Chains A and B, each alone.
Chain A
């Protein structure tokens, strides 16, 4: 849960929306400005702030904040 909260805060910064409007199911369908470029920006910030390296495919394919959270958890497990 802590990981999701951090990702939510970072996403709120990137997309310029209140954190309270974002949840695990939040996706480009309901978050204005979540295009490919902003997605890359979000991935880069997540990797930097959480000190983790996502798999390329996970970074590209994640469609929701929940999936990004899972990608971070998976990357941490692989790095451990």
Chain B
């Protein structure tokens, strides 16, 4: 099944064949099982290997086009939520394909694989909490993995895209990734939503670069966290994509936002473009993926 998908990807985009094959060879057994389970789930929902390859290729090509733009202009193409909302988050056809392609990058892009491990290892190590909140779960794979870990007594998630909410609910209730506890996923804008805290863990995977005011998202997360609670977040530096509107230029810039929101970084994962050092990636302005575990600072 995976072999058929890889062959379809190679047919669709020869430039991706070798990287995907290389990535597959580095996956842990559980990751391969999750990939197989997710692909089987996607196939059961009307996809084919060809359509999944097309979804993956959509993400690859859109990202490469944005990289071309970024190299020429030194900035992201879009800077406001309105620029991308209707074409991405509220476009059911595009969003579904985009989410399916993005789910595959979690297994095929080295930095995405490592960030996923970072998040899941952190969740496995943290003390079990009463309530877990994920903001912007997207395709739902991380949310499902967190629920499977059992790092909380109850799980909630919030996403502004109706397509994402539907994909998450479908994945979570399908049994594809095993029997999971009930997870309440709802459609809302995190900043405007009526959310009752406190939560012991808040997760924001690849959210901050998608919003105009990441500072407000972090402040809101801090408000909702219990004292001693943890925020787990990932984002990216110099990493253009079709819907990235907040251009972070350094790891320090993101850490400063976390600090200003009342969150102290206790663990970080910094992943320059594969094969490059952080200094080399920064000099060439190539993408750097970052992940943080931050603990709430006691309120003054």
Check A40 against B14 for contact (C-beta < 8 Å): no
Picked from B10, B14, B273, the residue with its CB within 8 Å of the CB of A37 is B273
Check B17 against A60 for contact (C-beta < 8 Å): no
Check A43 against B13 for contact (C-beta < 8 Å): no
CA–CA, A39 and B273, complex, Å? 15
CB distance from B199 to the nearest CB of A (A): 38
Check B14 against A28 for contact (C-beta < 8 Å): yes
Which of B64-72, B127-135, B144-152, B226-234 interfaces with chain A?
B64-72
Q: Which residue of B lies closest to A34 (CB)?
A: B15
Q: Does A70 belong to the interface (CB within 8 Å)?
A: no
CB distance from B275 to the nearest CB of A (A): 8
Q: Does B121 belong to the interface (CB within 8 Å)?
A: no
Check A29 against B65 for contact (C-beta < 8 Å): no
Check A60 against B14 for contact (C-beta < 8 Å): no
CB distance from A74 to the nearest CB of B (A): 15
Q: Does A36 belong to the interface (CB within 8 Å)?
A: yes
Q: What is the predominant secondary structure among interface residues of chain A facing chain B?
A: helix
Q: Does B290 belong to the interface (CB within 8 Å)?
A: no
Check B14 against A43 for contact (C-beta < 8 Å): no
CA–CA, A63 and B273, complex, Å? 22
Q: Does B286 belong to the interface (CB within 8 Å)?
A: yes
Check A36 against B64 for contact (C-beta < 8 Å): yes
CA–CA, A1 and B204, complex, Å? 52
Check A40 against B71 for contact (C-beta < 8 Å): yes
Check B19 against A35 for contact (C-beta < 8 Å): yes
B268-300 toward A: CB 8 Å interface, digit per residue (1/0)? 000001000000000000100000000000000
Picked from A27, A28, A56, the residue with its CB within 8 Å of the CB of B65 is A56
Check A36 against B61 for contact (C-beta < 8 Å): no
Q: Does A13 belong to the interface (CB within 8 Å)?
A: no
Q: Does B117 belong to the interface (CB within 8 Å)?
A: no
Check B15 against A35 for contact (C-beta < 8 Å): yes
Check A28 against B15 for contact (C-beta < 8 Å): yes
Q: Does B33 belong to the interface (CB within 8 Å)?
A: no
CB distance from B18 to the nearest CB of A (A): 7
CB distance from B157 to the nearest CB of A (A): 31
CA–CA, A42 and B18, complex, Å? 18
Check B286 against A37 for contact (C-beta < 8 Å): yes
Residues in B with CB closer than 8 Å to A63 are: 13-15
CB distance from A63 to the nearest CB of B (A): 6
Q: A29-B10, A37-B286, A60-B61 are in contact. Are A43 and B18 (CB under 8 A)?
A: no
Tell me the A residues contacting B by CB distance below 8 Å: 27-29, 34-37, 39-40, 43-44, 56-57, 59-61, 63
Tell me the B residues contacting A by CB distance below 8 Å: 10, 13-19, 60-61, 64-65, 67-69, 71, 273, 286
The 8 closest A-B pairs by CB, nearest first: A28-B15, A60-B64, A29-B14, A60-B65, A28-B14, A59-B68, A27-B14, A56-B68
